[in-house]
Amino acid sequence: MASMETKGKAAKGQLAVMLLVGGLVGFGAGYFVGGGGRPRASSENVAPGQTGDRLAELTRTLDRDPENPELLMEIGNLYYDREDWDQAVAFYEKARRKAPRNPNLLSDLGAAHRNRGEFDLAVAFFQKARESDPNHWQALLNWTLLETYDRRDAKAAQRLFDEVKRRYPEIPQLDKIQEQISGIHAGT
């Protein structure tokens, strides 16, 4: 019995790692194929009208359950995917009133502020996400990318990058981020 339980836990652990790595590969591919700039939604993954249909459906559900933080966050995500940063922030903020320590929400809110060019606010939310969950890799990676590509602060970027690489070496294309930081050090 114990060996089957151990095998089941091992299989679940392997599945979790595979899902994490798959998500990271998708992120890395989308991020670096786009030239390393700010992350943008990949509209080719969404059929025309699909986002609008889903948004309409969620809005109807929100009428019945206006205090649901997961629903508010999902609507914020749809606006984020549409690159409507103002609406994304508005819905993330509504969700934050109900779930103030949700690290995924805080990281998403930081990413939306980053896309609006509000870097100090973005960093504040990445820090809050990490305070809520010190192992929240997305907040750490988002903060690293902000310091690297937006602020071009080689010292801060390198410090954050070193932590990303030490803690999450499985993240794909870390060498591209290091190349960018090295270019900042070199003045290019």
DSSP assignments along 31-100, one per residue: HHHTTSSS----GGGS-TTHHHHHHHHHHHHHHH-TT-HHHHHHHHHHHHHTT-HHHHHHHHHHHHHH-T
In terms of pLDDT, which residue wins out, 82 or 18? 82
Packing angle of the helix pair 119-132, 103-115 (nearest 10 deg): 170
Average pLDDT over residues 101-112: 98
pLDDT score for 50: 65
Q: How many domains does the chain have?
A: 1
Amino acid letter, residue 1: M
Distances (CA, A) of 87 to 23, 45, 112: 25, 21, 10
Range(s) of the domain holding residue 81: 2-186
CB 133, CB 107: distance < 8 Å: no
* Dihedral sign, Cα of residue 85, residue 88, residue 94, residue 100: negative
Give the per-residue pLDDT at 125.
98
Rounded mean pLDDT of 76-86?
A: 96
- What CATH number does the domain containing 134 carry? 1.25.40.10
Least-confidence region, from 17-21, 68-72, 102-106: 17-21
Please state the rounded mean pLDDT for residues 57-84: 94
CA distances from 133 to 26, 113, 138, 168, 174 (A): 23, 20, 11, 15, 22
